[in-house]
Structure 1
Amino acid sequence: VGRSQGEFDQGIGELSDAASALDYLQAMNPNSKHCWVAGFSFGAWIGMQLLMRRPEITGFISVSPPANMYDFSFLAPCPSSGLIVNGTADRVAPPKDTHTLVGKLREQKGITITHEEIEGADHFFRDDETHMNPMIGLVQNYVRRRLTESSR
């Protein structure tokens, strides 16, 4: 973020870049059993768009999704279960908007949306000890649990 040679493209070029990155990873890992997408903030919006376009993606992690700034209505129906994480002190993407997004996704049948909040965390989970590390732990535990469930 901020060190890219590219320019902001309102999501069009970023989605194309994400699809190219996925193509590359799949070419490098042709026997992979799982394909997930993860994104943070604007990247969460891009990741969810990629999820809708690529049926091989079977899970997602969306951290600080900016549901107040970008339209997530394309997630109807959402094709896979996933994790949404936000901070309770997020002023960039207010928790109430994340709650609305989670509520809409949870209305859909056949998927499970897990929603976790980090108490006091801002949009960037700035404090490592009380915000970033717990967020990373939630993500790790979620992925571990999902992968264990899918191997049964």
Structure 2
Amino acid sequence: MPEIIFNGPAGRLEGRYQPGKSDTAPVALILHPHPQYGGTMDNKATYYLYHAFAHRGFATLRFNFRGVGRSQGEFDQGNGELSDAASALDWLQSMNANSTGTWIAGISFGAWIAMQLLMRRPEIQGFISVAPPANLYDFSFLAPCPSSGLIVQAEDDDLVTPISIVKLVEKLKAQKSITIDHETIKGANHFFENELAQLMTSVNNYLTKRLTSGR
């Protein structure tokens, strides 16, 4: 799990990178929760998501948004953070020129950024969106959502209203040509602090299903 520094639009960005198991391994980018509320690439859910992909042989990257840890710059209300994520994906793809696929995953604020990047990068073929803050940020840009993916919500989320995620899922499920899986983790709070095992069971089951089907 090498520590890396790569260039972002506001300066250097700090990350952790696990090379893929083969030259053609797919790549996965993992985005952490809100920087102004303690979110970092070492957030437990971010760390677990990173390892879920890395253990499957993906070339996997998680990194700190600008102003977090050793990453340069200052918080930019999501606009700069989206640019950071795009630069991170560029770096990841440049390290894996023969990759056969691209995935993205994010938690909370990171899920919002991930879904925006999904709309801008048609090569992204799958996503994991954990506790997307559908009542706090505008997700109307997902019109239509270009890729199938998994949305996971916490039953006892104290920041994101469950109904807002349900409405987002229903909107996306109405689209043709993609499939949205939706899981609710019972008893979990916004960061799944005591239910990480259940969260990762849902994530791993989904990845097994998608990767086995080859879609």
Q: TM-score, normalised by structure 1?
A: 0.93
Cross-structure match for 1:118 = 185
Separation in 2 of the partners of 1:138 and 1:65? 16
Q: CA deviation at 1:29?
A: 1.1
1:3-152 pair list within 5 angstroms: 3-4=68-69, 5=71, 6-127=73-194, 131-150=195-214
> Structure 1, residues 61-91: CA drift from partner, whole Å, max 9, x if none?
1000000000000001000000000111001
Separation in 2 of the partners of 1:30 and 1:144? 24
| Structure 2 spans left out of the alignment, 5+ residues | 1-38, 41-67
> Structure 1, residues 119-146: CA drift from partner, whole Å, max 9, x if none?
010100011xxx1111012111211210
Separation in 2 of the partners of 1:62 and 1:14? 17
Separation in 1 of the partners of 2:105 and 2:163? 21
Q: CA deviation at 1:7?
A: 2.5
Greater helix percent: which structure?
1
- The amino acid that maps onto 1:150 is G
How many pairs are equivalent? Answer: 148
Greater strand percent: which structure?
2
| Structure 1 spans left out of the alignment, 5+ residues | none
Separation in 1 of the partners of 2:201 and 2:97? 28
Q: TM-score, normalised by structure 2?
A: 0.67
Flag as ranges the 4+ runs of structure 1 deviating above 4 A: none
Separation in 2 of the partners of 1:67 and 1:8? 20
